Amino acid sequence: MSPRDSLTRFAWLSLAAALVTIGLKAGAYVVTGSVGLLSDAIESLVNLVGALVALAMLTVAARPADDDHVYGHSKAEYFSSGVEGTLILLAAISIAIAAVRRLVYPQPLTSLGPGLAVSVAASLVNLGTALLVRRAGRRYHSVTLEANAQHLLTDVWTSVGVVAGLGAVLLTGLEWLDPLIALAVAANIVVTGTRIVNTSVHGLMDAVLPPEEVDAVLRVLQPYVAGGVEYHALRTRRAGAQRYVSLHVLVPGEWTVERGHALADRLEEDIRGVLENVEVSTHLEPLHDPASWADQGEGHPGHRSNDGPPPASPEP
């Protein structure tokens, strides 16, 4: 079993944390009647659904390639992050509706002290879980776990805002601060949800690798160019944790197939040395043949070692 095959244990951890915090925050709402705490409990309910989706998609993503999915199932992780981001946005709408209703129809708050204590306990559970899940997401390049951790951290900051607001109500007696803080919480959740959905869409649309990773590939290629080898049609993309890099490698036409193949193998291995979980594809072409430069295609803008064929070799 590879390390990524066991990532579902972090989804189970997130699931357990969601169940615990839902119970704690719902109890705090019942005790206090605070719409801020209600908004916090709603977001924890979304955490539960997100954890279930993450568990399902991580299970699918861990499946090996098959006849119908020859590139594997790693893109399933983007469905999870997309669903979680959408759920976050729906939670924000629910929170905003509840807050506006409370502004229009105010209700007294009770037992704020115990309610705040319970909310703080729930936040600590979420914080510990979020940090563990985020570390695993970054270590194994899992967009599902990173989205889940981001959601949990948003929940933590939501709770911090709610606790601060209720503390202000407790000190000032201004109960209208409670729904106003809930609206601020909803706005913050919208930002996070939009960011997560955007990441998911970019992944499903085969967006290129981040600039720093493309630059790492270019640094690998520089010594080869200095040695007389050219390249073009450099393309990159990411599917979940898996990265893909392809390029055309142009070598002197008098080279043997064996020599060109050996160089391509070495170049691919060098790229794998600077990027994790990467599949590299190279296509060998003769350097001085104009036809080799006619199929440059659309690669990374400006990331070609030359704009055309070098001068032809002199006749012997």
Task: Calculate the alpha carbon distances from 129 to 17, 38, 135, 141 in Å.
Answer: 7, 21, 10, 18
| Per-residue burial over 203-232, b = 16 or more CB atoms within 10 Å of its CB, e = otherwise | beeeeebeeebbeebbebbeebeeeebbbb
Beta carbons of 303 and 231 less than 8 angstroms apart:
no
Q: Concatenated DSSP letters for 149-164?
A: HHHHHHHHHHHHHHHH
| Per-residue burial over 168-187, b = 16 or more CB atoms within 10 Å of its CB, e = otherwise | ebeeeeebebbbbbbbbbbe
How far apart CA 162 and CA 141 sit, in angstroms, is 32
Coil, strand or helix: which one is 201?
helix
pLDDT value for 218? 95
pLDDT in tens, 168-186: 777 777 777 777 877 887 7
103-107: long-range contacts at Cβ-Cβ below 8 A with a sequence spacing of 24 or more? 103/176, 103/179, 103/180, 106/175, 106/176, 107/33
pLDDT in tens, 71-110: 777 777 777 778 777 877 877 787 788 778 777 777 666 6
Structure tokens at 107: 């209700």
Q: Where are the domains of the chain?
A: 3-204, 211-293
pLDDT value for 315? 44
111 torsion bin: left (phi>0), alpha (psi -120 to 50), beta (else): left
Task: Calculate the alpha carbon distances from 91 to 23, 103, 124, 195, 214 in Å.
Answer: 17, 18, 21, 15, 37
Which CATH number is 3-204 given? 1.20.1510.10
Please enumerate in sequence order all residues whose Cβ is within 8 A of that of 68, keeping only pairs 6 or more positions apart, or say none. Answer: none
Coil, strand or helix: which one is 283?
strand
Strand ranges in the chain using DSSP code E only, listed in sequence order: 230-239, 242-251, 278-286
Sign of CA dihedral 201, 236, 67, 73: negative
Count of Cβ atoms closer than 10 Å to residue 63 Cβ: 13
140 φ/ψ angles, rounded to the nearest 5 degrees: -105, 10
Alpha helix segments (H runs only) across 105-142:
112-140
pLDDT value for 283? 93
Per-residue pLDDT tens, the chain, 316 aa: give them: 455 557 788 888 888 988 898 888 888 888 777 776 777 777 777 778 778 888 888 888 778 878 887 777 777 777 777 877 787 787 778 778 877 877 777 766 666 677 778 878 888 898 999 999 999 888 887 877 887 887 788 778 777 777 777 777 777 777 777 778 778 877 877 887 788 788 777 777 777 888 999 999 999 999 999 999 999 989 998 877 788 999 999 999 899 999 999 999 999 999 999 998 899 999 999 988 888 877 666 666 555 666 566 555 444 4
pLDDT value for 292? 80
Pick from 227, 217, 294, 289: nearest CA to 253: 289
Which CATH number is 211-293 given? 3.30.70.1350
What's the length of the chain?
Answer: 316
**Domains 3-204 and 211-293 alike in fold:** no
How far apart CA 99 and CA 183 sit, in angstroms, is 6
